[in-house]
Chain A
Amino acid sequence: MMKYKSNYLLYVLDTGENFKVGIVENRANLNKRFNSLYKQLAKPTEEARAKIKFARVYEGAVDRHIKTCEENLLKKELFEHRLPQANPKGQPTEYFDSHITLDMIVEAIDKQDLCKLNLLYTDYIPEYEN
């Protein structure tokens, strides 16, 4: 049976308005990453903050599978839907525009047949640490 030993994890962050795809290089840092993303989003209301969650978190057979999957999502599958940075260079961020749904992201992940991934969490909200 396939074992999933990657140190890296792939996450799909739901901000309540749109989605972001990213990786953590160490499993132990997943909650810490959530906290930092949560802070960066700086949502103004409690109601908006409550919607922030990791819609999906995946582990991989090896780190490479997580890296390739993220790379293919960002550079190929969903490249055109990446939001630009809010500066004159406007380079693409890891956040997608509102046309991209969770189903579309999951479908793009499932398409990566060389990447052996295992769904670790669905709708995961780590506790917020100040």
Chain B
Amino acid sequence: MTIGNPAFTSKNNPFDPKAEINVELGIHETFLELAEQSIHMIGISDAQLKVLRAEYKKSKKNFLNGYPYTVEFIKRSDLSRKRPHQRAAVIEAQEKMLYNWNHNLNTPVYVNVDKEGNNNVMEGQQHTTVDSILGDPDDMIYCIVYRDMPDHFEEEFFLNFNCDARTGITDYDHIRMMIFIERKTPTGNSHYEELEKKQGLFEQFNCRYLENKNNNNDIACATSHSSIWKVKHNTLKEMLKFISNDDKLRKNPMIQVTWGFWELMAECGWLRNEDVQNGWRDLVLDMTGQQHVKSELTQMLKENERNWSPIKGPKLLMQIMKERGVEIDMDIVCNDNGSLMRELELEVKTSETAQNYVKMAQDDEV
């Protein structure tokens, strides 16, 4: 069995710390190495962890109406300014940024109100908006105002606003940072705490999670869809293992309906059922790859005057696979819901597209 994607060489493999690309970026540790050093290894006691999590959860609940900010207009003169020694430190940058003033017109200023009620313009935006020699003190400034935020909010915001936006940090880097942060600041959210292990699976099977942008929509063995992080660890493991070891499937990007189907397999208890795994593979390849499965299922539903449904899509795949000869108990798939079973049966029967896929399998057998 080949593990991983042979298209990754020692030069371009994003997971090989010795690969040139990673050395240049200063990434010398793999995610697995990072994960091994994670919080569970640095001697935080269970009791301490519990207290930290409770504190974190409490601070999260204190958001105003569940929404962390309000939109308001505040007088320029009511916004805090830099003190002389702070100003001196940024004078050079300030001069440079003034030339770019036009870029900053009409963009909102982010304000964090501290315990004393000061309207602190968040780091990185002060130089050309609040302090600007071009502004009238009575100007009304368009502000997005945060109040009662947890500790370190401003720092986190600074990271998001200044670093992410300006340096092209990708989701991949985010996860890496999250692992670093998680060593010291447990989130109390098991979903995030499992991310390090899930990311480890991506490395193990040479798959990639990429930033969500058009150019990344069609990259082999990759996905940009963040809902993949909600897939249970075991399901993700079996899915990535299967896909990365299949010569044809690993040439496709993974899409939501891919893990939608694997989650359904897990729910039915068929995660390691080779007939179901291979039946899915054959059908997906007949649809010319994972990236086209959703549009084919949508077409089938359309032929039944129905819209796409991420819940129904994987079940419809099961029904087609059953009619293509894979031993599948639709009672289990539909959780003994008789009307759903009849509906799926009828949908496959009346859809020309679905029927073509059923016949294709029969033709192949002849």
Of residues 268 through 301 on chain B, the ones whose CB sits less than 8 Å from some CB of chain A are 285-289, 292, 295-296
- Report the separation of the CA atoms of residues A106 and B131 in the bound assembly, to the nearest whole angstrom: 65
When A5-B356, A114-B248 are in contact, do A64 and B363 touch as well, CB less than 8 Å? no
Q: Chain A interface mostly helix, strand, loop or mixed?
A: loop
A114–B285 CB distance below 8 A: yes
A61–B356 CB distance below 8 A: yes
A108 beta carbon closer than 8 Å to chain B: no
A62 beta carbon closer than 8 Å to chain B: yes
Residue of B nearest to A3 (CB): B363
A65 beta carbon closer than 8 Å to chain B: yes
Size of the A side of the interface (Cβ < 8 Å), in residues, is 13
Chain A residues within an 8 Å CB radius of B287: 64
- Report the separation of the CA atoms of residues A64 and B357 in the bound assembly, to the nearest whole angstrom: 10
* Number of A-B residue pairs at CB separation under 8 A: 35
When A68-B288, A114-B289 are in contact, do A63 and B353 touch as well, CB less than 8 Å? yes
B351 to chain A, nearest CB (A): 12
A59 to chain B, nearest CB (A): 12
Query: When each residue 26-44 of chain B gets 1 if its CB lies under 8 Å from chain A and 0 otherwise, what string results?
Result: 0000000000000000000
Chain A residues within an 8 Å CB radius of B286: 61-62
A1 beta carbon closer than 8 Å to chain B: yes
Which of A1, A63, A65, A67 makes the CB contact (< 8 A) with B366?
A1
- Report the separation of the CA atoms of residues A16 and B366 in the bound assembly, to the nearest whole angstrom: 42
Residue of A nearest to B355 (CB): A5
A41 beta carbon closer than 8 Å to chain B: no
- Report the separation of the CA atoms of residues A64 and B293 in the bound assembly, to the nearest whole angstrom: 10
B296–A64 CB distance below 8 A: yes
Query: When each residue 34-77 of chain A gets 1 if its CB lies under 8 Å from chain B and 0 otherwise, what string results?
Result: 00000000000000000000000000011111011000000000
B91 to chain A, nearest CB (A): 44
A64–B292 CB distance below 8 A: yes
Which of B248, B288, B359, B366 makes the CB contact (< 8 A) with A64?
B288
Given pairs A2-B363, A64-B287, A67-B292, 5 additional interface contacts (CB within 8 A): A2-B364, A62-B357, A64-B295, A114-B248, A114-B289
